[in-house]
């Protein structure tokens, strides 16, 4: 069975399992006096069921081989993560400079940002590690025999973009056992796709971001540079609210739409397109120097 088909069946199985288990977990947590929004419980349950499903199908999916290949030669390639991080910060800083020119000075947000930065940096590293392992080392690497390098890059980037929109926009709590809650949560997650005015800009921006990260992986053959890029993007997204100033409304072309700020704006698309052109050259120049 081809990797892509097996992966799809594995994820569908994990999703069905999460829909069954999440309502039980929510009921047990509520009975124990814990109060968490159900979408968060569903997301965590989904992570667990996907992990279990991946482990169960690891041999058929060549999970270990793909991940090991993506993370090979850590001592030699770790500096690439720092270069990727610096590249992302320099690129995204242009958007922050534009915001500053247009009057967004952040006010007291800058002081709060300095306090929160250690937490944001840690979160950015964790997100980058998890997503680059799954979407680049595993998914993109596994899809190449099925679709070729460019086809796998496009397909995996599209999945990466859509997966970030499939999250429930509402926070609701369960106090009893509601077996259909998982299905309702999934339906609520897809509602965002029914509003093209806000969904399409976000999907397009995330797709471009996926292309940049995937191109970095294809050029280097490892995930280190893409992890650095990804961590820089996440840190910028988390830091962006600190730039906003009450009463100053930044244009949509720069700020994007609130739920997917920055990445849903044309200014970020231009930055992503420039990076898409530059990343292969940056990586190859560094490889030649070594």
**Cβ 264 vs Cβ 203: under 8 Å:** no
**Cβ 198 vs Cβ 257: under 8 Å:** yes
Range(s) of the domain holding residue 190:
69-289
**Cross-strand pairs, 256:** 261
Q: Quick check: is 56 in a domain?
A: no
Please give the span between the terminal C-alpha atoms of the chain, in angstroms, as a whole number.
Answer: 39
Its pTM stands at: 0.90
Q: Quick check: is 184 in a domain?
A: yes
Regions of the chain with pLDDT less than 70: 106-111, 168-170, 284-290
Q: Quick check: is 280 in a domain?
A: yes
Q: Quick check: is 201 in a domain?
A: yes
> 51: Cβ–Cβ under 8 A, 6 or more apart, which residues?
none
CB atoms within 10 A of CB 12: 11
SS3 of 131, please? helix
Q: Quick check: is 58 in a domain?
A: no
pLDDT of res. 84: 96
Total domain count for the chain? 1
Q: What DSSP line would sit under 177-232, residue for residue?
A: --TTHHHHHHHHHHGGGG-HHHHHHHHHHHHHHHHHHHHHHHHHSSSHHHHHHHHH
CB atoms within 10 A of CB 147: 17
Q: Quick check: is 266 in a domain?
A: yes
CB atoms within 10 A of CB 288: 7
pLDDT of res. 244: 77
Q: Quick check: is 178 in a domain?
A: yes
Q: Quick check: is 202 in a domain?
A: yes
Nearest to 39 by CA among 216, 246, 187: 187
pLDDT of res. 288: 47
């Amino acid at each position: 069975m081809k990797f892509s088909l097996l992966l799809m069946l594995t994820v569908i199985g994990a999703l069905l399992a999460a829909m069954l288990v999440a309502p039980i977990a929510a009921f047990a947590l509520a009975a124990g006096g814990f109060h968490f929004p159900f979408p968060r419980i569903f997301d965590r349950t989904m992570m667990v069921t996907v992990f279990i499903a991946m482990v169960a199908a690891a041999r058929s999916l060549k999970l270990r081989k793909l991940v090991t290949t993506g993370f090979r030669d850590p001592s030699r390639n770790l500096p690439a993560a720092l270069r990727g991080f610096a590249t992302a910060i320099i690129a995204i800083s242009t958007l922050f400079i534009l915001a500053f020119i247009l009057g967004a000075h952040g006010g007291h947000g800058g002081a709060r940002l300095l306090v929160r930065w250690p937490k944001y940096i840690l979160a950015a590293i964790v997100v980058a590690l998890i997503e680059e392992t799954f979407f680049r080392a595993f998914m993109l690497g596994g899809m190449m025999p099925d679709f070729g390098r460019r086809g796998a890059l496009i397909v995996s980037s599209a999945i990466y973009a859509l997966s970030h929109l499939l999250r429930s926009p509402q926070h609701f709590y369960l106090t009893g056992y509601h077996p259909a809650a998982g299905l309702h949560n999934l339906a609520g997650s897809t509602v965002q796709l029914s509003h093209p005015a806000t969904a399409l800009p976000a999907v397009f921006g995330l797709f471009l971001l996926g292309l940049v990260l995937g191109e970095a992986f294809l050029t280097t053959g490892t995930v280190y540079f893409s992890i650095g890029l990804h961590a820089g993007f996440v840190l910028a997204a988390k830091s962006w609210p600190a730039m906003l100033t009450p009463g100053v409304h930044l244009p949509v072309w720069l700020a994007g739409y609130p739920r997917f700020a920055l990445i849903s704006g044309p200014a970020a698309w231009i930055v992503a397109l420039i990076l898409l052109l530059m990343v292969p050259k940056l990586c190859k120049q560094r490889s030649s120097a070594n």
